[in-house]
Copies of this chain bind each other. A is one copy, B any other.
Amino acid sequence: METTWDEQLRTAGLRVTRPRLAVLAVLEQHPHVDADTIATAARAVHPSISPQAVYGVLKALVGGGLARRIEPAGGPALYELRVGDNHHHLVCRECGVVADVDCVVGAAPCLTPSDAAGFVVDEAEVVFWGLCADCQVARSQHGYGTNSAIRGGVRA
């Protein structure tokens, strides 16, 4: 990371505030987290931060192009700092962990559906669903009964 968060915020026309820097610091350490986890972690740096402030900050960051919001089905929205490169995600059905994948078939072909039905497409979102390495092990050990569903364990 060359440019500082200060600069990036200012470039986006946003003021530099403690809550924003706190949220950015959390996102830097945890690549894919939900708003609630961010709030908890950010409180270590800036104790008085409120949940709503986190929503506000995240909306500002997403609006300013510093963060990206992803919404895997069946769970709360997650945020990440990797923006601008069109990459995709692997999501674990069991624990909800998210991993990045670089664009599937090279640069942009994944942006071109075979028949666009009159739509002007500007983004292709790809989510791969499966089982992460840890959950594969857990499943084969405990004898596939550990279905703790997605919700909850998204801490990445």
Contacts and interface: CB of A to CB of B under 8 A. Distances in A.
A43 to B, nearest CB: 27
A119 B99 contact: yes
A117 B69 CA distance: 21
A116 B118 CA distance: 33
A114 B104 contact: yes
B125 A130 contact: no
A118 B137 CA distance: 11
Contacts of A145: none
A49 interface: no
A89 to B, nearest CB: 9
B113 A104 contact: yes
Contacts of A77: 73
A132 interface: yes
Nearest to A134: B118
Contacts of A144: none
Interface of A: 69-71, 73-74, 77, 88, 90, 92-93, 99, 101-102, 104-105, 109-133, 136
23 contacts: A70-B73, A71-B73, A71-B74, A73-B77, A88-B113, A90-B113, A90-B116, A105-B109, A105-B110, A111-B128, A113-B128, A116-B128, A117-B132, A117-B133, A119-B130, A119-B133, A120-B131, A120-B136, A123-B129, A124-B128, A124-B129, A125-B128, A126-B126
